[in-house]
Amino acid sequence: MKKIKVSHEVPFCLLEESLEFNDYDYCLPHLLDENEEYRNFFYKAKEMGRYIVMDNSLHELGKAYDTDRLLYWIKELEPDEFIVPDVWEDHIESVVNARQWSKIPLPKNVTKVAVVQAKSIHEAMLCTKTYKELRYKKIAYSYGASYYNDVCPHPNTDLGKAVGRFLVINELYKAKILSDYDRVHLLGTAWPAEFGMYKSFGCIESIDTSNPIMAGIERQIYSNIGLSKKPKANMNNFQDAKMDNINVEGILYNVQKFREINKL
């Protein structure tokens, strides 16, 4: 099994501390334009030789960030990976975008990552197949798609989404659309114990989730299975949180517990 790299998005005030517990740094390009502290952190991370994954900010903005600004920051930072623009739960438009971005030249050391968007397992299969045909070297799967709850109709919808995503990837394996030789990123989670289910899947290369951070901000402490419900707190509303107002000790405990739970 590959060593899975983990990153937790944090408020600005914890950026320096995150260097101690994050395996790589997850970059939101719109924040590079909006916040000098955030921008300087990523310049420093680049100088330090840290591994950087740049998102397209869909989750935060509701749509992918401006193309010109994305291209600017890709050239400026040369991240190790860039998640090309996708469209929420729309596999056709996401494929259209992925096809367009497959033709856009980026610095040779930047790996393009395409996100599978779908409303059913069938669409997820089609989307994954197309990305591989377009020669994407790495593919990502979001945590919050509604159809995961159709795949696993659990009364706890957060748990259902986590198990649903696992079942979708399991089906992709069974259909030989994915194999241990592929490279997969898991975007976020609704249930922090989810990742332990992937221990026999060699394709899972990296994950990102703010779950243990958000739980700590809400002053919730992880049990041996994390939390049964996803924290209501959203990083969009807590990016500017002050150190005096957050439970740093609880956050650090949750981060460590997250790794223990998932044997990472």
Checking if the pLDDT of 162 tops 90, the result is: yes
Give the predicted TM-score (pTM) of the model: 0.96
Asked if residues 70 and 99 have their Cβ atoms less than 8 Å apart, the reply is no
Domain at 5-262, CATH class: alpha beta
CB-based burial, 141-152: b 16+ in 10 Å, e otherwise: bbbbbebbbebb
Averaged confidence pLDDT in the chain? 96
CA distances to 68, 78, 146, 188, 202 from 143, rounded to whole Å, are 27, 26, 9, 5, 19
For residues 108 and 234, what is the distance between their CA atoms, to the nearest angstrom?
34
CA neighbor of 76 nearest in space, from 54, 96, 95, 98: 54
Domain boundaries, the chain: 5-262
**pLDDT band of 237, cuts 50, 70, 90:** confident
Joined tokens for residue 70 = 């994305």
SS3 assignment, position 14: helix
For residues 142 and 204, what is the distance between their CA atoms, to the nearest angstrom?
13
- Sheet of strand 25-27: strand arrangement: 5-7, 204-208, 184-187, 138-142, 111-116, 81-83, 52-54, 25-27
**pLDDT band of 3, cuts 50, 70, 90:** confident
Q: Over the stretch 163-207, which tens digit does the pLDDT of each residue have? A: 999 999 999 999 999 999 999 999 999 999 999 999 899 999 999
Residue 31, pLDDT score: 97
For residues 63 and 212, what is the distance between their CA atoms, to the nearest angstrom?
25
Residue 1, pLDDT score: 54
Q: Over the stretch 30-58, which tens digit does the pLDDT of each residue have? A: 999 999 999 999 999 999 999 999 999 99
Phi, psi of 187 (to 5 degrees): -90, 105
